[in-house]
Structure 1
Amino acid sequence: MSNFKRPRKLQRGDRIAVVSPSWGGPNVFPAIYETGLEKMRAQLHLEPVEFPTARMAPDRLAQNPKLRADDINAAFADESIAGIFVSIGGDDSARILPYLNTELILANPKLLLGYSDTTTLLSYLSSQGLVTFHGPTIMAGIAQIESFGDQYKAHLVRLLFSSGQTYEYAPYQAYAEGYPDWAIPENLGKVNVLTQNSGWDWLQKGEDKQGYFWGGCIEVLEFLKGTDFWPARSFFDDKFLLLETSEEVPTPDQVMRILRNYGLQTILDRIQGLVIGRPRGYSEEQKLALRQVVKQIVVDEYGRSDIPIILNFDIGHTDPQFIVPFGVKALISSANARVALVEPIFRKNEPEGNSNAF
């Protein structure tokens, strides 16, 4: 089993720290935030514990990056807290990284769940040796848990509560892009129109590979390049690079330039595979252009005809999305169109919880 520090799995009744390391969304849209907390209790049987930043006003959060880091540090230090869920994303959580107590965090591994701007925390702490969890936030994903049927809830329960030895990902049957206006009470917990999911797009089959997922929101990762919070190049030797685009809809040409930067860093030479999430807000023409861009940069310019490349993966800014742990060994089998976790997510010798009681 890999040497990443693993948290324990969650159990019914666990106390979960709720933090806002990015934008003060709960202060702006309290009703959808409250809906997310209610779904944590009713659907996942977890007890949210709001830390000081949880409902803090956006301007105060923006002015005080250390306060946000203090909440993260305190949540990891608190022995009564089993995990940490992020309220929502934003655009400046990179500013809290210098204030993290990394030594304390690694000494007290816990389940940290989020995506979008939380990419800064997930990617950095993963590079330091902690298993982190790329997945839904309270306001965007958990509040809408009842809109997606049994498959989504079963996935969340399996990835958060189970001590199983392996896990096989399967595409969701349908997906939605965004949510109706959160200011209207009738919209709480709902999503925009559901679209039939065409499944994953295997741009290139390549060889079967094993490795560890790492990455997140492609625009947010740009904040970290060239800083002390960006991994050494050798870190990427056994990684599946996982990328997704935000609701700001970066153009295929912008993605091309970002990917070319990964190539110049020798990262594309090193990775074991590339997985790109289903883009939000793209037209069919943009999706085709993105496909062409990925092939141009990764295969044609950098010669990686050997690795699996998957597009339209169920992560990121469309719903529902997978929980993908960073630091748990995974398999991508092109021959069998499989993506699977092939070792336990959580640390050994944990008592079996109540994941079957949902």
Structure 2
Amino acid sequence: MVFRSRRDVLASLSLAAAVLPLLGFSPSLAVDKQPKTLLPPRIKPGDTVGLICPAGAAFSKETVQVTKESLEALGLKVKLGKHVFDRFGYLAGTDQARAEDVNSMFADKGVQAILAIHGGWGCARLLPLLDYKTIQKNPKPLIGYSDITALLVAIYAKTGLVTFHGPVGAATWNKFSVDSFKQVLFDAAPVTFQNPKELGDNLALTKDRITTITPGTARGKLVGGNLTVLTAIIGSDYLPNWKDAILFLEDTNENVYKVDRMLTQLKLAGVLDQVKGVVFGKCSDCNPGSGGYGSLTLEEVLEQHLQSLKVPVYSGAMIGHITHKFTVPVGAEAEIDATAGTIRLLSGAVV
């Protein structure tokens, strides 16, 4: 047996640490070289939208029908995925079946956009099963939020295709959400996302307020989604390059200490140190829970983790598990103004 000194071991580790980045490795294993940005074609009246359930099961046929009628009201046609009504426990069928629906919808020349009906859990299980070459050759809008985040960021990371953190089929298709959806996906508009400022009969704005954590403006590619989902795939190679990105986040039904834990994970993985700005959307029903006496507030946790980054940061954007939501393109160039609480697309996110 050959014994090595502590100094020799440390020297070897230092050499490995120096070599790994050259081989394409990074602390969070995000892709080192981001593929060229690929814009999908815009959605047009008469186009067909493929409906899929890549995560949770479609327990309610009525929900699927309402989704179909909502899209038809937008002048669109609908095609159901082969496995939409499959069920495997809390999942909408086996991993292979759900991945088949994603791959098939991208390959289908008669489908111009793809919309998830539900979130839930399960998209991360599909990432090794997706046909990224076929997806890249057949660019089309993929839309959803919550657990769909895993698909949105992985497909962007692997193919460069801009994806869309927007409504799922089962969401409320109200005027605010529909207007944002159409501006981004139908009109290819360089939208400025800004919260509504309706006072009602109040003397001051009481809902959907933004909070400036660090003032200023910043430009970069929008990357993000659900905080829980993003942190669950840290350490995989299904995440994009975070360098100079504008990170946006949202979540729901998480105790404050869990938000603290997940932001800590993003920090330890080196993600937060690379971004040019942060937009934290809504964290609905994120309460202290059983955190005990003297729990930190959500505002305190956000300030502690994000103020120290010395980049523009604001919270409260209409992104998340809410009825009125923006359709935010993952991979699009944008400028945020943390003082005004706005996200401005520098160009259209579809062609």
The two structures share one fold, judged by TM-score above 0.5 = yes
Q: How many residues align?
A: 306
- Which residue of 298, 323, 326 corresponds with 2:327? 323
In structure 2, what is the equivalent of residue 200 of structure 1? Answer: 210
What is the CA distance between 1:241 and its match in structure 2?
1.2
The CA distance in 1 between the partners of 2:180 and 2:108, in whole Å, is 27
Q: Relative to structure 1, is the Cα distance of residues 158 and 266 closer, same or farther in structure 2, using a 3 angstrom cutoff? A: same
User: Which has the larger displacement, 13-22 or 334-343?
Assistant: 334-343
- Which residue of 37, 59, 62 corresponds with 1:4? 37
- Which residue of 59, 71, 82 corresponds with 1:40? 71
Counterpart contact for 1:213–1:327, Cα < 8 Å: yes
The CA distance in 2 between the partners of 1:90 and 1:59, in whole Å, is 12
Counterpart contact for 2:334–2:345, Cα < 8 Å: yes
- Percent identity for Structure 1 against Structure 2: 27
Counterpart contact for 1:37–1:48, Cα < 8 Å: yes
What is the CA distance between 1:223 and its match in structure 2?
2.2
The CA distance in 1 between the partners of 2:287 and 2:263, in whole Å, is 21
**Counterpart code for 2:83:** T
Q: Where does the alignment leave 5 or more consecutive residues of structure 1 unmatched? A: 175-194, 348-358
- Which residue of 178, 185, 201 corresponds with 1:153? 178
What is the CA distance between 1:196 and its match in structure 2?
5.6
What is the CA distance between 1:173 and its match in structure 2?
5.3
- Which residue of 30, 51, 54 corresponds with 1:21? 54
In structure 2, what is the equivalent of residue 295 of structure 1? Answer: 303
The CA distance in 2 between the partners of 1:172 and 1:55, in whole Å, is 37
1:228 corresponds to 2:237: yes
What is the CA distance between 1:32 and its match in structure 2?
2.2
Structure 1-normalised TM-score?
0.80
Counterpart contact for 2:49–2:77, Cα < 8 Å: yes
Q: Where does the alignment leave 5 or more consecutive residues of structure 2 unmatched? A: 1-34, 199-204
Counterpart contact for 1:135–1:323, Cα < 8 Å: yes
Counterpart contact for 2:145–2:166, Cα < 8 Å: yes
Counterpart contact for 1:116–1:220, Cα < 8 Å: yes
Structure 2-normalised TM-score?
0.81
Counterpart contact for 2:194–2:341, Cα < 8 Å: no
Q: Which has the larger radius of gyration?
A: 2
Q: Relative to structure 1, is the Cα distance of residues 92 and 60 closer, same or farther in structure 2, using a 3 angstrom cutoff? A: closer
Counterpart contact for 1:61–1:67, Cα < 8 Å: no
In structure 2, what is the equivalent of residue 180 of structure 1? Answer: none
Q: Relative to structure 1, is the Cα distance of residues 337 and 63 closer, same or farther in structure 2, using a 3 angstrom cutoff? A: closer
What is the CA distance between 1:228 and its match in structure 2?
2.9
What root-mean-square deviation, in Å, do the aligned CA atoms of Structure 1 and Structure 2 show?
A: 2.3
In structure 2, what is the equivalent of residue 243 of structure 1? Answer: 249
**Tell me, what secondary structure is at the counterpart of 2:229?**
helix
The CA distance in 1 between the partners of 2:132 and 2:223, in whole Å, is 18
Q: Relative to structure 1, is the Cα distance of residues 336 and 294 closer, same or farther in structure 2, using a 3 angstrom cutoff? A: closer
What is the CA distance between 1:47 and its match in structure 2?
0.7
